[in-house]
Amino acid sequence: MGEVNMSVEAELIDEHKVGISQWKVVPAPHRMITLGLGSCVGVVLYDSVMRIGGMSHIMLPDSSQFKKNDNKGKFADTAIPMLLEEMQAIGARKRVIIARIAGGAQMFSSEERKAVNNIGHRNVEKTFEVLDNLGIKVLAKDVGGNKGRTMIFDTADGSVWIRMLGQKTRLL
């Protein structure tokens, strides 16, 4: 993975923020960004032919584990299919969509990790499972560790950058 210097032209593109438990779908040329991917997982789906992209910021792996699960953007098992459905509604074709994922860090100490049942790892596993069940190939990943991430996605060319505290922005 190489170091990336984002150009001046790229700075002129509209940027859409994707918050925790949200998803967005936009056609090119737009950029999406999600901040604070600690144990959460950011998922980018991209149709490079139609140049339609989607991003989701997933907080938890499985909606069936909760009685109150009406926020479909919160869970991997509901957010990813909804993201795909919304992309297809504006012309994306499932057979060419690829995914990139980031996040799933272990932000807690050993004792705290036991209390939250290794949520970062579970989020990553469920994300891979859902994408596999949908027949979507994961092109790249940047997961695990113990630092939060910011994920930036440019629908103009499908590029995804990762920023981590104390490190240079890098291409995923």
Share of the chain above pLDDT 70, in %: 87
Which tokens belong to 149? 């991430």
Model pLDDT, residue 109: 64
d(CA 139, CA 47): 12
d(CA 60, CA 42): 11
Burial 89-115 (b: 16+ CB within 10 A, else e): eeebeeeebbbbbbbbbbbbeeeebee
Which tokens belong to 69? 């699960």
Q: Walk me through the domains of the chain, giving residue ranges and CATH numbers.
A: 8-171 (3.30.1330.200)
Neighbour-count burial of 145, counting CB atoms closer than 10 A to its CB (0-12 exposed, 13-18 middle, 19+ buried): middle
Model pLDDT, residue 172: 87
Alpha helices by DSSP H, listed for 37-109, are 76-89
Cβ atoms of residues 43 and 139 within 8 Å = no
pLDDT in tens, 19-38: 999 999 999 999 999 999 99
Determine which one of 25, 37, 40, 105 is catalytic: 40
Residue 89 has pLDDT above 60, yes or no: yes
Question: Following CA atoms 99, 19, 104, 123 in sequence, which dihedral angle do they give, to the nearest 10 degrees?
Answer: -80
Q: Is 40 a catalytic residue?
A: yes
pLDDT in tens, 118-136: 899 999 999 999 999 999 9
- In the chain, how long is the greatest CA-to-CA distance? 47
d(CA 128, CA 47): 18
Residue type, 166: G
The model's confidence at residue 65, banded by pLDDT at 50, 70 and 90, is: confident
Model pLDDT, residue 117: 78
Nearest to 57 by CA among 87, 78, 34: 34
